[in-house]
Structure 1
Amino acid sequence: MHSRWPVIITLRHLILLLAVFSAAVMLAGGMAGAYQVQRQQLTASTLEANEAFATKLARTTSDLLSRAQSNLSYAAERIVRSGMAPAVQQAEVERLRHLELGFNSVTVMDMGAVVRAAAPESLGLKGRQLDLAQWRDRLNEKEPTISAPYVTGLGNLGIVIAQPLLDADGGHLGRLSATIYLRSDGALQRLARDQYFRDGTYVYVVDSSSRLLYHPETDRIGSVVLHNPVIEAVLKGDSGQMRVVNSRGVDMLAGYAHVPGADWGVVVQRPVHLTLQGLNDLMLRVLRQAVWPALALLVMLWLLSGWISRPLGELSRIVRDGYQEGMSPRIAAVNCWYLEARRLRGALLSGYGQVRTRMGELHSAAHTDPLTKLGNRRGLEIVLKTLETQRRLFAVVILDIDFFKRINDRYGHDMGDRVIAGLADLMQGQARQDDGVFRLGGEEFLAVLPQTDLADALRIAERLRAAMENAPLLDDAAVTLSAGVAVWDGGDVEATLKAADQALYRAKQGGRNRVESTAL
């Protein structure tokens, strides 16, 4: 018979292996669970932010086109009222050409397809007769129109906004039209291009045929994008959010909104890998910080395992159960009647505290605005839900920095960030113990004031407005803010937020640098 070497497995080895395995499972399970929760929250918040921004940008684009049509309508009325006077026609096209609406050319054409006025004059269109057969249908249009994008005679991709010239009886006198080039530095391009992101988010705009009207990569403007679910959805008139792999194979978190006046779509999207990059780095830092405590615990277990008896068995069973709430009292309750067992118990409690601390850091990062260290929208939701559950009276103050875009344009985005941080410092400095202060995004902030009626809330908002106006944030100008105040009456919290937002809108409309309120 062949003798075999006996496998020597001591109780010391078994307990050490069990402790190491259980600690690894606990750490991995806690890290994986925390990672998945934070990943889902980051993905959801990015989708919500992109949808909100796309909706805002679509609304602004629609307003821009409406203003363009309104200016054309006003000019057409003046031209018709003048009896189609040539001097008035030329004066109006020159005026329209120099508006900030970004018109590249403006023309007046009579019913014979003759250009009677044109700006700029360098185009050489004035006095020329165009192909009447080609223009007859458009000259007979009775409603204002926005054309589909087309390639002009000079090779530019553009759109035409047109206004018919009608006499008092509705008879056609001609057509006033303005052209906007989509590849030039016009208002539509500035509107999308000037949105400043540092996190990889970007904006693009498509027309009803899936043609790119704006894209950060200018060489793609004018190309048609097919088989993109986001574009297909937005061109159906929908607004929403979607995770999608784009036409170049990049996994994106997209928010989209429809521009009804022109049948366009606005899409704001950010790559998934950039969204999760910060979370990945945070998890790696947590893991690195946990290495040395884990190694120390391993050495301690090896030194003390030879003296283990029942107390060590109880501790190993607790560790084997994995991370869970209420774990600390269970460890503390073990009867460690000798020194080595007491030290092991202390090491396990320390490891549990570190994991709980790291998870607390992750939770704090998910509810805090990184620039101002104020609460973010998720933190606001928790505070409002708590106050609503407790049925505690509270006031809401929504604040918005006046002309913040001008500050960014004139002083740069670093100074803009300093202004935002300055307002955050003022809010924190004036906040009472139970008050909550939050940054909703951009230059918009919100304060929740528990146990505060409307009069007190107005005084607090006015004091903050005055402090902001007097704060030396810029060397050569004062920075002001507008505020809207509303008090929760025990009804719908969302209605209270909307009322405060409406009050803020009135403050803006009323000249800014003021406080308005809404009584529910």
Structure 2
Amino acid sequence: MRYRLLPALNLRLLILLLALTASLSTLVSGFYSTYQVQKEQLINYTLKSNYAYARKLASATDSFLEAAMQQVAYSAKIVEQQIEDDNLLKQEVIRLNLQTNSFNSVVINKGGIVVATSPELPELINQPISSTGALQAAKEKRPLISNPYMSVAGNLIIFISHPLFNTQGDYLGYIGGTLYLNEPNTLNNLLEQHYYRQGTYIYVIDANKRILYHPDPKYVGLYAGDNSIINSVIAGKAGTSETTNRQGEGMLAGFAPVTRAKWRIVAQRSVRATLTSLDLLIVEVIKRTLPQAIITFILIGFFAHFISRPLKQLADRVNTLDDPVSFEKLKNVKSWYFESQRLKLAMLKGVNILQMQIGQLRHDAETDPLTNTHNRRSLNGLLNQLMVKQTPFALLEIDIDFFKRVNDTFGHGVGDEALKSLTNIIKNLSRKDDIVARIGGEEFVLVLPNESSESALKIAERLRMTVESTNMKTIGFITISIGIATWPKHSNDIDQVYKCADKALYHAKEHGRNRCIVAQGD
């Protein structure tokens, strides 16, 4: 009798589909992984570069400000010695202003009155100055870099000053220079020359979040908003961060503080500009890979034909067998395609053997090999099932009294026989649903579902007396101590129930052994 098999997919087609799918997924995965790795490396490199750049620029700015303060301090020493010589005062402010291009203007204030300026401003001579920087210098009477402020002319400036004292230490006034943060000077040039055209730029803010320098002058003097970078730099931190700018564009920033002036320098570059080169690289890689991929797919089709042909022939021969037993097995196989029916049969046999082995392994993993009772892992699983079903139970912790003496006197082999004998006694006194487990050397647990502390105590006493009256081979008589706790009476937490039973067991041990104790309290 011959049987007609249902139509199935051709093996050659399946090999082609599998190979094409695997190849395409490998290519896509490779491109994606390469892109992600390169992207991460580019971002990390950009963050580190921006941080190193911001830190270097912050150091350079600190050095410039320190040099400017030293210049003012040097002039202060000269002026202090000849404070009454107006000619010298005029020459000194001119020298200080023209020497290094560090300052946009220089002023000497004596007794609250302007006595010399450079550039020369006759309208200010013999007049008091009430600008924010001047007032701060007069108030603090120490070498000072003022907080940035807006001048009367609408310029954002800082004032670097040094106090003047006579030989007796009396305060005479100060000498100071102004720096216009949005006009040419050494500081502005220092910041301007570090502007990158490839999407990276720097900006500087003060401790009040005011922007002191920005490649786009319209932002100078404005206040920066709140984001992760601004909040970090205002806190005086140095490091890197990914954030968004005012236009919502992702930015990669490094930042560092200018300690002398309490400014913060941020160097940042957009994520888009950073990844532009990577996008072009991936496109180029795809273009170069495509011809090789096409050749590979053609070769896969060629080899698939020769791989499937002998398998198809073997499958045809298997189809001619009329063995009833083999047919019944083939009949129950849900195969994808015609050629796989015989192969799947072999696989099912292998799976059946594997399941038998897994069952044996599971039994070994959940059973104590000496006593053939549940071990701790298996016990915990069974207790969890009882708790899920909300089935109350009593837990009896059983320990053999002076068991170490048995091992020391008769040897571990006799001790193992004693453990087996005790196991048989416990099992004989247990019901069908009771759980017997060995959790330690001579420690056992008996779980009694749906039993209260009172009924469990009766069962425990019966067990204790049975063990006490049983004459065991070689060692004679032994006794046991039992600690009893119930779930959920003593606790809803199974660990606490264990602890309660354990505490009751130790209580029994400490009060003479060979007794049963119920844990106290809920």
User: 2:298 aligns to what?
Assistant: 299
Contact 2:76 2:163 in 1 (8 A): yes
Query: Once the 2 structures are TM-superposed, how far is the Cα of residue 304 of structure 1 from its aligned partner?
Result: 4.7
Pairing 1:176–2:151 present: no
Question: CA, structure 1 residues 286+311, in 2 after alignment: closer, same or farther (shift >3 Å)?
Answer: farther
User: 1:84 aligns to what?
Assistant: 84
Contact 1:228 1:247 in 2 (8 A): no
User: 1:483 aligns to what?
Assistant: none
Query: Once the 2 structures are TM-superposed, how far is the Cα of residue 132 of structure 1 from its aligned partner?
Result: 11
User: 1:202 aligns to what?
Assistant: 201
Q: Match of 1:98, SS?
A: helix
User: 2:164 aligns to what?
Assistant: 165
Query: Once the 2 structures are TM-superposed, how far is the Cα of residue 155 of structure 1 from its aligned partner?
Result: 1.3
Question: CA, structure 1 residues 289+191, in 2 after alignment: closer, same or farther (shift >3 Å)?
Answer: same
Pairing 1:61–2:80 present: no
- 2:42 alignment partner AA: L
Distance (Å, rounded) in 2 between the aligned partners of 1:140 and 1:171: 14
TM-score w.r.t. structure 2 length? 0.55
TM-score w.r.t. structure 1 length? 0.56
What percentage of aligned pairs have identical amino acids? 35
Query: Once the 2 structures are TM-superposed, how far is the Cα of residue 61 of structure 1 from its aligned partner?
Result: 0.4
User: 2:320 aligns to what?
Assistant: none
Q: Match of 1:162, SS?
A: strand
Q: Match of 2:140, SS?
A: coil
Contact 1:239 1:257 in 2 (8 A): yes
User: 2:113 aligns to what?
Assistant: 114
Question: CA, structure 1 residues 195+131, in 2 after alignment: closer, same or farther (shift >3 Å)?
Answer: closer
Distance (Å, rounded) in 2 between the aligned partners of 1:134 and 1:25: 67
Q: Match of 1:115, SS?
A: strand
Q: Match of 1:232, SS?
A: helix
User: 1:29 aligns to what?
Assistant: 29
User: 2:104 aligns to what?
Assistant: 104
Alignment of 1:81-480 (within 5 A): 81-111=81-111, 113-122=112-121, 124-130=123-129, 138-309=137-308
Question: CA, structure 1 residues 135+18, in 2 after alignment: closer, same or farther (shift >3 Å)?
Answer: closer
Is the radius of gyration larger for structure 1 or structure 2? 2
Question: CA, structure 1 residues 167+141, in 2 after alignment: closer, same or farther (shift >3 Å)?
Answer: farther
Q: Match of 2:286, SS?
A: helix
Contact 1:105 1:178 in 2 (8 A): yes
Distance (Å, rounded) in 1 between the aligned partners of 2:136 and 2:45: 49
Contact 1:140 1:172 in 2 (8 A): no
Question: CA, structure 1 residues 11+85, in 2 after alignment: closer, same or farther (shift >3 Å)?
Answer: same
Contact 1:64 1:101 in 2 (8 A): no
Question: CA, structure 1 residues 135+65, in 2 after alignment: closer, same or farther (shift >3 Å)?
Answer: closer
1:251-299 CA distance string (max 9 Å, x none): 1111000011111000011111211221221111111211112122223
Q: Which sits farther off after the overlay, 57-66 or 188-197?
A: 188-197
- 1:21 alignment partner AA: T
Distance (Å, rounded) in 2 between the aligned partners of 1:311 and 1:149: 86
Question: CA, structure 1 residues 306+167, in 2 after alignment: closer, same or farther (shift >3 Å)?
Answer: same
- 1:65 alignment partner AA: L
User: 2:364 aligns to what?
Assistant: none
User: 2:52 aligns to what?
Assistant: 52
Query: Once the 2 structures are TM-superposed, how far is the Cα of residue 24 of structure 1 from its aligned partner?
Result: 0.8
Report the number of matched residues.
307
1:35-63 CA distance string (max 9 Å, x none): 22222211111111111111110011011
Question: CA, structure 1 residues 8+103, in 2 after alignment: closer, same or farther (shift >3 Å)?
Answer: same
Query: Once the 2 structures are TM-superposed, how far is the Cα of residue 140 of structure 1 from its aligned partner?
Result: 4.5
Distance (Å, rounded) in 2 between the aligned partners of 1:146 and 1:10: 84
Query: Once the 2 structures are TM-superposed, how far is the Cα of residue 8 of structure 1 from its aligned partner?
Result: 7.3
Distance (Å, rounded) in 1 between the aligned partners of 2:209 and 2:217: 16
Distance (Å, rounded) in 1 between the aligned partners of 2:122 and 2:203: 30
- 2:152 alignment partner AA: G
Query: Once the 2 structures are TM-superposed, how far is the Cα of residue 139 of structure 1 from its aligned partner?
Result: 2.4
